[in-house]
Copies of this chain bind each other. A is one copy, B any other.
Amino acid sequence: MKKILIIGAGRSSSSLIKYLGDHAIQENWSITVSDRDLSLAEERIQGLDNCVAQSFDALNPTEREEAIESHDLIVSMLPARFHIGVVEDCIRLKKNIITPSYVTEEIKALDDSAKEAGVIVLNEMGLDPGIDHMSAMKILDEIKERGGVIEGFKSFTGGLVAPESDNNPWNYKFTWNPRNVVLAGQGGAAEYIRKGKYKYIPYHKLFQRTETIKIEGYSDFEGYANRDSLKYRAVYGLENIDTIYRGTLRKKGYAAAWDSFVQLGMTDDTYNLEGVPTMTKRDFLNSFLTYNTGISVEDKLCERLSITTDSEVFKKLKWLGIFDKTLIDLNEATPAQALQKIMEEKLSLDAGDKDMIVMWHQFHYILNGEKHVLESHMVAIGEDEIYTGMAKTVGLPIAIAIKHILNGTMTMKGVHLPIHKDIYLPVLKELSELGIVFHERNVS
């Protein structure tokens, strides 16, 4: 019997644990689900075969070593900064380990040790990073094998609300950490490369420079640039590529409305506002507009943003309640925290709402002297509030990798990302059987 330890039973572990439980008898697995909060671990394993819940302090080296020692394969679903301790233990104790997080320089440096120990340290095995790598590398490798030369690669991913639950003018709900949504894009310019030219977009222009993305069967999406497109050149073996651009997807119209907040300065998280306890939503908005008692806050806003009150942007802002004379209801707040509070009241998921993950790639390549464009996309809709699209796309790649590692059909050793055929082929194959399917289309 192979023993699997899952450290962390939060929201993103649900589909992973379900898969393991569903396959436990057939594969002869015993699964330990641990969390600081025992009741959360207990909830996750309810009704599943061969599963036990456990609680230990993953930051306590003695408790952690003890837990790891009695298992064959470890999955760390801890916050990214805590992986390193688990990885070091796993290498010392010769256990395979998988995480859904970006590999760090510290973990990369353990490649030789992991090889010597005869184990795999498999990182970036979730959705983004994870499925993005696998689905892109599959097509990039295919093009290269046919003798093609890749000239451009664009890739966008978004966590959205499913069409059946999409009932507000933003066409958006918080399906994940709202704070990350409010702070998206901050902390430096977005860098990318277009036809060989490096390009930089400062944060305050990010939501103005969007691209429209069309996927058959859905209303239009738009994408804004992520900060780190350039690093994927090395990861994907595209050092000489002309154009590389990665970004985040929203439904069309979102970025223009969000840009209002950026332009006003309402997404700033670097200072505390004055007088928050007595501040209404309208006061909050007005603190970013010039002083002028002669005209309404609505008119000042329209003037500043050069919009009219019958515009889509104005409708979205008004629906959100930012003109309301009701309290923000916080004791202290940065502008970003106040904005998050206002948005959470309107954009949180309702009971029964489903989320939707959308991933879209576009490849420009030359084959036999001719230019080609290929697009590939995947849409995953959540089953319910537990087995969300996010939980499925983060957890199932890990679960499938566990099966192959324990079966001996995935044999790489060392520190890896899922950019190798031996990893991505079996994982993508089974994902598509589980409904996480990429649709490819030759555009030209």
Which B residues touch A247, using CB under 8 A? none
Tell me whether B187 and A270 are in contact (CB under 8 A): yes
Which B residues touch A290, using CB under 8 A? 199, 209
Tell me whether B197 and A263 are in contact (CB under 8 A): no
Q: Is A273 an interface residue (CB 8 A)?
A: yes
Tell me whether A265 and B199 are in contact (CB under 8 A): no
Which B residues touch A189, using CB under 8 A? 265, 268, 270-271, 335
Tell me whether B265 and A205 are in contact (CB under 8 A): yes
Binary per-residue interface labels of chain A (198-209) against chain B in the complex, 1 for a CB within 8 Å, 0 otherwise:
111110110001
Which B residues touch A195, using CB under 8 A? 291, 293
Which B residues touch A256, using CB under 8 A? none
Secondary structure type dominating chain A contacts: loop
Binary per-residue interface labels of chain A (267-278) against chain B in the complex, 1 for a CB within 8 Å, 0 otherwise:
010110111000
Using a CB-CB cutoff of 8 Å, which residues 240-291 of chain A contact chain B? 263-265, 268, 270-271, 273-275, 286-288, 290-291
Tell me whether B271 and A191 are in contact (CB under 8 A): yes
- Interface residue from B194, B202, B205, B291 paired with A199 (Cβ < 8 Å): B291
Which B residues touch A209, using CB under 8 A? 290
Q: Is A103 an interface residue (CB 8 A)?
A: no
Using a CB-CB cutoff of 8 Å, which residues 202-244 of chain A contact chain B? 202, 204-205, 209, 230
Binary per-residue interface labels of chain A (105-124) against chain B in the complex, 1 for a CB within 8 Å, 0 otherwise:
00000000000000000000
Tell me whether A200 and B335 are in contact (CB under 8 A): yes
Tell me whether B200 and A287 are in contact (CB under 8 A): yes
Given the known A-B contacts A198-B274, A335-B200, are A188 and B268 also in contact in the complex, defined by CB atoms under 8 Å? yes
CB distance from A79 to the nearest CB of B (A): 24
CB distance from A197 to the nearest CB of B (A): 6
Tell me whether A198 and B275 are in contact (CB under 8 A): yes
| Assembled-state Cα–Cα distance A42/B268 (Å) | 49
Binary per-residue interface labels of chain A (168-200) against chain B in the complex, 1 for a CB within 8 Å, 0 otherwise:
000000000000000000011101001101111
Which B residues touch A202, using CB under 8 A? 204, 263-265, 268, 288
Which B residues touch A199, using CB under 8 A? 287-288, 290-291
Which B residues touch A201, using CB under 8 A? 265
| Assembled-state Cα–Cα distance A204/B185 (Å) | 15
| Assembled-state Cα–Cα distance A265/B335 (Å) | 22
Which B residues touch A274, using CB under 8 A? 191, 198, 230
- Interface residue from B197, B268, B287, B291 paired with A286 (Cβ < 8 Å): B197
CB distance from A234 to the nearest CB of B (A): 13
| Assembled-state Cα–Cα distance A264/B335 (Å) | 24
Which B residues touch A270, using CB under 8 A? 187-189
Which B residues touch A273, using CB under 8 A? 198, 200
Which B residues touch A188, using CB under 8 A? 268, 270-271
Tell me whether A265 and B200 are in contact (CB under 8 A): yes
Using a CB-CB cutoff of 8 Å, which residues 285-301 of chain A contact chain B? 286-288, 290-291, 293
Using a CB-CB cutoff of 8 Å, which residues 101-148 of chain A contact chain B? none
Which B residues touch A288, using CB under 8 A? 199-200, 202
CB distance from A334 to the nearest CB of B (A): 10
Q: Can you list 20 residue pairs at the A/B interface with Cβ under 8 Å?
A: A188-B268, A188-B271, A189-B265, A189-B268, A189-B271, A189-B335, A195-B291, A198-B274, A198-B287, A199-B287, A199-B288, A199-B290, A200-B268, A200-B287, A200-B288, A201-B265, A202-B263, A202-B264, A205-B265, A209-B290
Which 9 pairs from chain A and chain B are nearest by CB? Answer: A202-B265, A204-B204, A194-B291, A188-B270, A198-B274, A188-B271, A198-B287, A189-B265, A200-B287
